[in-house]
Amino acid sequence: MSDVVERTLTALPGLLSLDLQTGAGKLSSTSKLGNLIRSITELTSKHDEEKLIKRELAAIKEQVSSPNTTMRQMKETMVRSIYCEMLGYEADFTYIHAIKLAQQGSVLEKRVGYLAVSLFLNENHELLLLLVNTVLKDLQSTNLIEVCMALTVVSQIFPRDMIPAILPLVEEKLNHPKEIIRRKAVQALHKFYLIAPNQVQHIHSKFRKALCDKDPGVMAASLHIYLQMIKESADSYRDLAGSFVTILKQVVGGKLPVDYNYHSVPAPWVQIQLLRILALLGKDDQSTSELMYDVLDESIRRAEINHNITYAILFECVKTIYTIHPKEELLEKAAKCIGNFVLSPKINLKYLGLKALTYVVQQDANLALQHQMTIIECLDHSDIIIKRETLELLFRITNAQNVTVIVEKMLDFLRLCHEDYAIIDLVAKVAELAEKYAPDNRWFIETMSTIFTVGGELMQPDIPSNFLRLLAEGSDSVEDDRLLRTYAVDSYVSLLQTNPTKLPQRFLQVISWVLGEYSHLVDDLSPCLVIDLLVRLLERPAVASDTRSWVMTAVGKLSTGAGGGTGAGGGTAEGGAGLVQRVSQQHSSSLDTQLRQQALELQLLSQDPELHTRVLPRGAVWGSLEVDSSLSFLDGFVSEALARGAAPYKPPHQRQEELRQEKALSLEPYALSLPISLSSCSIADRQSPTLLSISSGLSGNSTELPHRAGSGSLKLEGVKRVWGKDGYLPQREVPEGPSILQEASAPAPQTFPQQGGALTPPSADPSEEDRDKQQLASSLFVGLSSHNSTCLMGKPEAPVPQRFRRKHKNTDSASASSSSDSSHSPHDAANHFLYSSLLEEGPASPIMLAQNSLAPPKRTEANGTHTRGDTPVLPTANGVAEVGDQEAPPSLTMANEEAPSPGVGRHRDPPLLMGGMKLVQPCPPHPAPRASTQSSAEGADPPQLPELPPEPDHLPPELRNLPHSDMAPLASDQSLSLSCCRVHREDALVLVLQMSNACGAALLDVSVELQCHELKVASLRGNALESLPAQSVRVCWYTLLMEAPHTHVMVTGSVSYREESGPSHALEISSKLSLADFLRPLVLSTEEYGKLWLSLSQDVKQNLTLLDPDGDPLCSSLSVLKDKLQLHVVDIIGSEGIVACKLLQGAPCLLHCRVHAGALAVWLRSPVPGLPDCLLYHLQRALQER
């Protein structure tokens, strides 16, 4: 007890030794709160309550605003308003008074004031700023209680920006003699760490001190912080593992004061916390794990009392043991514990047991086998939570053999379940399992139908779209696809025929899409029948309007079949066409504009079969569809309009910017001028249609753009794509259906693991119950025992091949052709290329990586302007410009025009391939290939064999004219020495590795591996040599592409080789590359600069030191920057200069420099978040180094 408090106490008269109970008595029945509560409890309806509270709030309002209200009354009023707020009625007028109360009240009133503040306000509330002063004052108070209250409120709620104001005071409290203050101070720092980790960076050492505090409470509080920090980066705290183990040992050993025991378990919550920390520290780290084995063992041993809290500790032990580096002995004990949990009659423990099983089953499937009977009992448990947990467990052990039984169980549960959350969760799981392990078409379609029916409108929208995509993209075998599709059509037709009323909208959409797309596959199904079924849907009032448009689209697709009368349907054809006519007429006056539009389109299409086949070709190969999101077909229209003097399109944010400019003083460095010329508006914004349309000559790129830009919300799956680059008739169908076959590997043999009787559902007959359970067990756990963990989720798949593999996930990601889906890292694709062609052509085959899809905005613009004969200068590297690249722009279109090389021939869509990369197949003896992106230098020099650099220290000819660094030695040993040179190619950084054999004998099997996580690395040539003759030199190249900005990146790798008769060696190499290597000048005019500037958002400002302050500081500073960082100085006007650069062919970064007060004020803008920061770093360095 502190002196202060004690003094206060002694000052009290003896008669005040009332206890708490009488404190309650203070609330006389006449008190206002008492009245309020009583009247509320007497009310019968919500409406009355509302009226009463309104009255009450009015009274409170009057009271708080009256100047005569004492603090004491204010406190009472505050409690009443807390009560009102709790009931959900806003009393925001009291907030300011709560702060006032905290500020001015005596201790007790202050407490209520603080409480009200922390209950009423949130971190971003503006009133909170008013609290800062009060907190400051209270933190400095000599009254312990006030300090405590201040710390409490700080750890509940505090404005982030004001942390620095009180941080020193809180830190100081870490040394307070009273442990409760220290503990609360630690807690407050924890709060600071959570909301603003940077601000407490410097006091990590004090956390350590808190960890070693002599008071266990303070130590326990510091564990919160450590748990959080270790969660974020375990590596930085591994050194503390020993301390945590020691602490845990002491706690388990009962070294803490008895006070901390809870049901004679020593400080159980501290133990739990420590165990969690240990799990995080020991994960993937054997040596740290070894430290823990003893104490874990002891924890398990000591936790023997049959009480809830010991089980809590045991559970944590089990989790820790399974998380850290495994030790056989402990695993056994943990498994036994899990067994105890699972078998426990206590339901909470059973739940945790199932949770633990779910957690460990991926490592040890046999454990699930041991408890299979219990698991089956849990499946029928009366508690829904237990059931769900059991299903979760089953989900983890699903394989191709037990999938039918498990999915059946899940569907059973779903049919009885009414909780939205559970349904959403489980539906997604069933869909995943069905897609992964479906044994046959029938089962798959039926399961999906059930999912759609049960999931209804709740399920995640990606489930139906994935399903449609799977149908559309098909698998590796055309025949399988056909069967699947026809089965789907059949089952949906019969569904519609029986009872379509109950089907959810999403399902109806799926059905209509499938019928529209594939019903022609079923020979004896007349299109009229299908149209009739669909049209009936349109007539139902319950069908939502977006579903109607799906239906309409389907009818549109079917209308040729009906009208044209192909084959058997001839007789009824007229009826079908009539029906279509009727529908389109009926809806052509619909109030729903979308529907009306579709109806009118349908009308036109049904009258013109030719148009119809062009617009909606039957059986179009997916993937070959292109979406011209840039609407390039409007180019003509736009340019015409512009020529007639229309203002160019401005995106909304630019318009806003301008508006703001008009209103406010101009703070922008450039007055906005809007010349109505094509050349300037083309650069205006990367997302403006004009620019995109120019780039749309590259179909691959333009389809990728929306994805890259992160606007992935545009779901194109399941939507018929009708707008293409040629206008409203695109769908360039590539008649290469069979090529899929070629590409596909032979379909894997299907297995149908039907287990005879095992599949029969358990019967309800009690006499057979046991046997049924056994059977169920055998069908549920089949496949677990033999090859246990290999078949589990998240592990490599079981021998049974996954049936519905999405094509684009395997074959396509490799070919990178039809992927409009850009989620696959091109790096993978590159590896795949490397790998596969290495296999095909032997180790030395060089591979060329062409321009990759990201290079774009600037580059494509260059192409576009070039083809249109417009003037803007091509962005080029200094070196390149000299060689006169105007005739030969580094062009992607060139690659498009090239005949596909053999490697490309297999892919059905060469232009799209450019979205990924271009593969050229040069074998050493053949003439060297012409890499599509090789810069113009190549145009001058005829390509040469890169394998034969004539003399050491010479770059391959096509690189020789590019700006490059000197050869710098990297590593060497007695026989091989390596040096490297960085070549700044326009679109990439080329790293040329020179290997020179210094010894007398040839070196064999030289191979180079290079990697860098931050960059995209591709080997160009020569990275594997069969032999390196004595005293000779070879080079190999890598192109490096930086997509996200980094200030520095480390490239590491190794070169391995073998001496002719000796052992093999490896040389490690590493090289640090800076952002400067990836910057390229961006050449543009001042006007273009101004426009681009306005359209960019990421904004960084900084003052830098100026060079040459006496002469012309701006010019000399800029020229230094220009030389060192390859910037392009656009213009210098007086004391301001504008500079532009870009990250390879990607994001631009604009700099505006101004000499101001002896410093260089730099203002950077870029569309890429990190780029200005990274660039700024190098600017500083460049200027400092001078």
Footprint of another protein on 78-107 (CB under 8 A): 79, 82-83, 85-88, 90, 106-107
- Angle (nearest 5°) at CA 237 between 236 and 243: 160
Of the two residues 190 and 859, which places its CB atom closer to another protein in the complex? 190
For another protein, give the closer residue by CB, 18 or 604.
Answer: 18
List the x/- string, 218-237, binding to another protein by CB under 8 A: ---x--x--x----------
Is 614 within 8 Å of 560 (Cβ atoms)?
no
Does residue number 180 form part of the binding site for another protein (CB under 8 A)? yes
416 binds another protein (CB under 8 A): no
Residue 190 in the binding site for another protein (CB under 8 A): yes
Residues 139-158 close enough to bind another protein by CB under 8 A: 144-145, 152, 155-156
**Min CB(6)–another protein separation in Å:** 10
Which span (185-193, 618-626, 703-711, 989-997) binds another protein, by CB under 8 A?
185-193
Using the contact rule CB under 8 A, the part of the chain among 27-35, 706-714, 837-845, 911-919 near another protein is 27-35
Instruction: Tokens 């982030």: give the residue.
Output: 160
- Main-chain phi, psi angles of 1027, to 5 degrees: -150, 150
Alpha-carbon distances, residue 631 vs 503, 564, 677, 687 (angstroms): 37, 32, 20, 12
Site string for another protein, 848-877 (x = CB under 8 A): ------------------------------
C-beta closer to another protein: residue 116 or 1067: 116
Name which of 421 and 728 has its Cβ closer to another protein: 421
> Is residue 386 a contact residue for another protein (CB under 8 A)?
yes
CB of 1010 to another protein, least distance (A): 40
Please report, as residue ranges, which positions from 457 to 516 form the binding site for another protein (by CB under 8 A).
Answer: none
Length of the chain: 1186
Q: Check binding of 259 to another protein (CB under 8 A).
A: yes
Query: Could you tell me the two tokens for 732?
Result: 């360039």
Decide whether 107 or 873 has the Cβ nearer to another protein: 107
CA angle 85, 89, 93 (to 5 degrees): 75
Q: Residue 277 or residue 1104: which is nearer to another protein going by CB? A: 277
By beta-carbon proximity to another protein, the closer residue of 227 and 369 is 227
Q: Is 664 in the site for another protein (CB under 8 A)?
A: no
CB-wise, 79 or 634, nearer to another protein? 79
Pick the stretch among 112-120, 590-598, 880-888, 1157-1165 that binds another protein (CB under 8 A): 112-120
183 is a site residue for another protein (CB under 8 A): yes
Q: How far is the CB of 86 from another protein (least distance, A)?
A: 5
Q: What is the DSSP letter of 364?
A: -
Q: What is the dihedral of CA 995, 997, 1001, 1005, to 10 degrees?
A: -10
Positive or negative torsion for Cα 683, 684, 690, 695: positive
Question: Binding string to another protein for residues 43 to 62, with x set by CB under 8 A, is what?
Answer: -x------------------
115 is a site residue for another protein (CB under 8 A) = yes
Cα 863 to chain centroid distance, Å, stands at 33
Residue 170 binds another protein, judged by CB under 8 A: no
Q: Is the Cβ–Cβ distance between 1127 and 722 less than 8 Å?
A: no
Burial class (CB in 10 A: 0-12, 13-18, 19+), 324: buried
Tell me the closest approach of the beta carbon of residue 130 to another protein, in angstroms.
18
Q: How far is the CB of 1139 from another protein (least distance, A)?
A: 43
Handedness of CA 1039, 1041, 1046, 1047 (dihedral sign): positive
Q: By C-beta, is 316 or 947 nearer to another protein? A: 316
Count the site residues for another protein by CB under 8 A: 94
Can you tell me whether residue 1088 is helix, strand or coil?
Answer: helix
Q: How far apart are CA 771 and CA 784, in angstroms?
A: 20
Applying the rule CB under 8 A, the residues between 320 and 379 that interact with another protein are 346-348, 350-352
Across the beta sheet with 976-985, what order do the strands follow? 968-972, 976-985, 988-997, 1033-1042, 1015-1021
Least distance to another protein, CB of residue 713, Å: 19
Structure tokens at 94: 């009291």
Q: Cβ atoms within 10 A of the Cβ of 352, count? A: 22
Task: Decide if residue 119 touches another protein (CB under 8 A).
Answer: yes
Long-range contacts of 538-547 (CB under 8 A, 24+ apart): 538/583, 538/587, 540/500, 540/501, 542/501, 543/505, 543/508, 544/505, 545/592, 545/594, 545/595, 546/505, 546/509, 547/505, 547/508, 547/509, 547/512
422 near another protein, rule: CB under 8 A: yes
Q: How far is the CB of 27 from another protein (least distance, A)?
A: 5
Contact residue for another protein among 14, 25, 925, 1000 (CB under 8 A): 25
Judged by CB under 8 A, the residue of 12, 665, 746, 899 near another protein is 12
Which range touches another protein (CB under 8 A), out of 179-187, 928-936, 970-978, 1135-1143? 179-187
Q: Is residue 191 at the binding interface for another protein, with CB under 8 A as the rule? A: yes
Neighbours of 1113 (CB within 10 A): 18
In the bound state with another protein, the residue whose beta carbon lies nearer, of 21 and 142, is 21
Exposure of 933 in the CB half-sphere (CA atoms within 13 A): 23
Q: How far apart are CA 1163 and CA 455, in angstroms?
A: 52
Q: Closest by alpha carbon to 1049, among 1068, 1069, 1077, 1029? A: 1077
Binder of another protein out of 263, 660, 795, 1101 (CB under 8 A): 263
Residue 420 interacts with another protein (CB under 8 A)? yes
Our finding on whether 383 is near another protein (CB under 8 A) is yes
Contact predicate 657/663, CB 8 Å: no
